Amino acid sequence: MPANGSAPIRIARPSRDLAAAARFWKDGLGLTELYRHASEGTEHALLMLGWPDARWHLELTFDPTGTHLPSPTADDLLVVYLGEEVPVELIERLERAGGTRVAAYNPYWDEWGVTLEDPDGYRLVLSRRDWSNS
């Protein structure tokens, strides 16, 4: 498969707590669990989440040695373009699932959406804009 717009994408991130991260991304945002490899004591664990019809997925990993912990910055974003106002119910569900609403580092995102941090500190932006290349 060539490297172009139809190539699948995996976004991989370390997590301190896969159960907490799963609550945010599954119960909060509504992603589906696509694959899970459970840790057996000293083994690494991973959880892949996404929408089944999407060409991307989020892979969360757990390192039992604690060597690779999450280290997000305020500008590490996963942006979901909704093309409509961000539903208050979605924001509330994400907060109940362990998310924290925060001010965006870049004020552009506060103008066009809502920013939440997941339990590992990574930021999700729900944008009311439509995606376009312009």
Distance CA 27, CA 101 (A): 16
Q: Which of 17-26, 39-48, 61-70 has the highest average model confidence (pLDDT)? A: 17-26
Distance CA 57, CA 26 (A): 12
Of the two residues 134 and 34, the one the predictor is more confident about is: 34
Tokens encoding 27: 């119960």
Superfamily of domain 77-127: 2,3-Dihydroxybiphenyl 1,2-Dioxygenase, domain 1 (3.10.180.10)
Q: CB of 59 within 8 A of CB of 13?
A: yes
Q: Look-up: residue for tokens 């301190």?
A: 16
Superfamily of domain 9-62: 2,3-Dihydroxybiphenyl 1,2-Dioxygenase, domain 1 (3.10.180.10)
Residues 58-83 have pLDDT tens digits of 999 998 888 888 999 999 999 999 99
Residue-wise DSSP of 37-54: E---SSS-EEEEEE-TT-
The confidence band for 40, taking pLDDT boundaries of 50, 70 and 90, is low
H helices, E strands: number in the chain: 3, 8
Residue range 75-103: average pLDDT?
97
